[in-house]
C-alpha cells in the first residue's frame, strides 16, 4: 500500500495554487528600454519582435503605460549617434546628453518609476567596447574613472539606481565613492557581478550598434572582461567582491541558460538578486511562437517563473509589458 502520494497536492488548480512555491507578479519586472534621438520617432528592432527604439517623448508615453500595468522599474539604453562616439566616452556624462535628458523626462512624468540607467561605455565608444582602448587593450582603471563620472551624471539627472554592466575590476568601489563624494548617498548600485561573455546578446547589440568593431588592433570580443561561460565558482568570487565594494543589488546575466548560477548565488548571499532575460532568449521564444512551435503566452510565464524559482528577486525582461498584461488578466 502507498502511504505517501504526491499527486494529492496536484488534484486541481485550487490545490496546486495553495501549495505553490514561486509566485510571479508585475512587481518582479524591470523593462529594458531603448532610446533614440529625435521626436515622435519609433523604430522596430527586427531581431526582437515587438521591441522598439523610441524618442524621448514616446519613451515617456511607454513608461506611463508600463507603470499603469504595474511595471515599476525601467532600465535605459541609448542609441548614440556616431558623431558623438570616441574612445573616451565623454558623451556618457554630458549633462544635456540623451541619457540624462531621458532620465529627467521619465522622472518628471512618472516620479514613482524606478529609473536604472545602464553604465557602460560601449554605446559611446568608436570601438564598441565597454571600456577605453589603449595599446590595443581595454584598460581597467581609466575606464573606472569614466564610469564613475557617468554614474554621477545619472544621479544628477535623477536616477534611482545606476547599473554598471561593464565588468571592470573595482568599478563598484569607484562608483560608490564618487556617488558618496557627490552627496548621492541614496542612489543605489545594481552591479552586473556575474556577466558572461555570451552569444545570447546578439539582438541587443544590433539594437544599439554596440558590438565590438572589426579591427585587428583591438580585441574582437569582450572575453577579456566578461566571464568565461565554462565557469561557475568564479561567479561567486565576482559577487563577493562587488558586495564588499558597496553593491546594493547583484545581477546575473544571461538568464535561462544560467539558472544554476542564480541558484548558487542565492544560497550564498542575502542581497537582492536580479537576473537578465536577455535579447537572445527573448528572440528565441518569439521565433518559436511565430512558427507555432510553442505557445507564446504560456512560454513567457513559465520562463519568467523559472527565474523566481531559481532565487531571483527581480527580472530584467523584454517580456515585462506583455507578461504584465497576461498577469493582470
For residue 208, pLDDT over 70 is answered with no
Q: Is residue 230 part of a domain?
A: yes
Compute the distance between CA of residue 185 and CA of residue 306 in angstroms, rounded to an integer: 34
Domain that holds residue 321: 29-328
Quote the DSSP letter at residue 4.
Answer: -
61-65, 180-184, 220-224, 244-248, range with the lowest pLDDT: 220-224
Query: What positions carry a catalytic annotation?
Result: 195, 253
Our count of domains for the chain comes to 1
* CA–CA gap between residue 234 and residue 97 (Å, rounded): 36
Please give the backbone phi and psi of residue 93, each rounded to the nearest 5 degrees, phi first: -115, 25
Domain assignment present for 23: no
In a domain, 7, yes or no: no
Query: All 3 cell numbers of residue 28?
Result: 518582479
The DSSP output letter for 293 is S
Dihedrals φ, ψ of 110, to 5°? -135, 75
Confidence of residue 210 (pLDDT cuts 50, 70, 90): low
15 in any annotated domain: no
Residue whose entry in the numeric block shows the C-alpha cell 584598460:
139
In a domain, 9, yes or no: no
Residue 184: pLDDT band by 50, 70, 90 thresholds?
very high
User: What CATH number is given to the structural domain containing 150?
Assistant: 3.20.20.70
* CA distance linking residue 254 with residue 198, whole number of Å: 7
pTM of the entire predicted model: 0.94
- pLDDT class of 219 with cuts at 50, 70, 90: confident
41 falls within a domain = yes
Residue 238 is assigned to a ligand binding site:
yes
- Mean pLDDT, the chain, whole residue set: 94
Please give the average per-residue pLDDT across 166-176, as a whole number.
96
Is residue 162 assigned to a domain?
yes
Grade residue 26 by pLDDT with cuts at 50, 70 and 90.
very high
pLDDT in tens, 92-150: 999 999 999 999 999 999 999 999 999 999 999 999 899 999 998 999 999 999 999 99
Flag the least confident range among 93-102, 196-205, 257-266: 196-205
Q: CA–CA separation, 179 vs 237, rounded Å?
A: 24
Rounded to whole angstroms, what are the CA distances from 71 to 8, 14, 31, 271? 36, 27, 7, 21
On whether residue 11 sits in a domain, the answer given is: no
Amino acid at each position: 500500500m502507498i502511504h505517501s502520494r504526491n499527486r494529492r497536492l496536484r488534484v486541481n488548480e485550487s490545490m496546486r495554487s495553495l501549495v505553490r512555491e514561486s509566485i510571479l507578479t508585475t512587481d518582479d519586472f524591470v523593462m529594458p528600454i531603448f532610446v533614440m534621438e529625435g521626436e515622435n520617432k519609433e523604430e522596430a528592432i527586427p531581431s526582437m519582435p515587438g521591441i522598439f527604439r523610441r524618442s524621448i517623448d514616446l519613451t515617456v508615453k511607454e513608461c506611463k503605460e508600463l507603470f499603469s500595468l504595474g511595471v515599476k522599474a525601467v532600465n535605459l539604453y541609448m542609441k548614440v549617434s556616431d558623431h558623438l562616439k570616441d574612445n573616451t566616452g565623454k558623451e556618457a556624462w554630458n549633462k544635456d546628453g540623451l541619457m540624462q535628458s531621458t532620465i529627467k523626462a521619465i522622472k518628471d512624468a512618472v516620479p514613482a518609476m524606478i529609473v536604472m540607467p545602464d553604465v557602460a561605455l560601449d554605446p559611446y565608444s568608436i570601438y564598441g567596447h565597454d571600456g577605453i582602448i589603449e595599446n590595443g587593450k581595454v584598460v581597467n582603471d581609466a575606464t573606472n574613472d569614466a564610469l564613475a563620472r557617468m554614474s554621477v551624471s545619472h544621479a544628477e539627472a535623477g536616477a534611482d539606481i545606476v547599473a554598471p554592466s561593464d565588468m571592470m575590476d573595482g568599478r563598484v568601489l569607484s562608483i560608490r565613492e564618487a556617488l558618496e563624494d557627490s552627496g548621492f548617498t541614496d542612489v543605489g548600485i545594481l552591479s552586473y557581478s556575474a556577466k558572461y561573455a555570451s552569444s545570447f546578446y546578439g539582438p541587443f547589440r544590433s539594437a544599439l550598434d554596440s558590438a565590438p568593431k572589426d579591427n585587428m588592433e583591438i580585441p574582437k570580443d569582450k572575453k577579456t572582461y566578461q566571464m568565461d561561460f565554462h565557469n561557475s565558482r568564479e561567479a561567486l568570487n565576482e559577487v563577493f567582491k562587488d558586495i564588499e565594494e558597496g553593491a546594493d543589488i547583484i545581477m546575473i546575466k544571461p538568464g535561462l541558460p544560467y539558472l544554476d548560477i542564480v541558484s548558487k548565488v542565492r544560497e550564498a548571499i542575502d542581497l537582492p538578486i536580479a537576473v537578465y532575460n536577455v535579447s537572445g532568449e527573448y528572440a528565441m521564444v518569439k521565433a518559436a511562437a511565430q512558427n507555432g512551435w510553442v505557445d507564446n503566452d504560456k512560454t513567457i510565464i513559465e520562463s519568467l517563473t523559472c527565474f523566481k524559482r531559481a532565487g531571483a528577486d527581480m527580472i530584467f525582461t523584454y517580456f515585462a509589458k506583455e507578461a504584465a498584461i497576461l498577469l493582470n488578466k
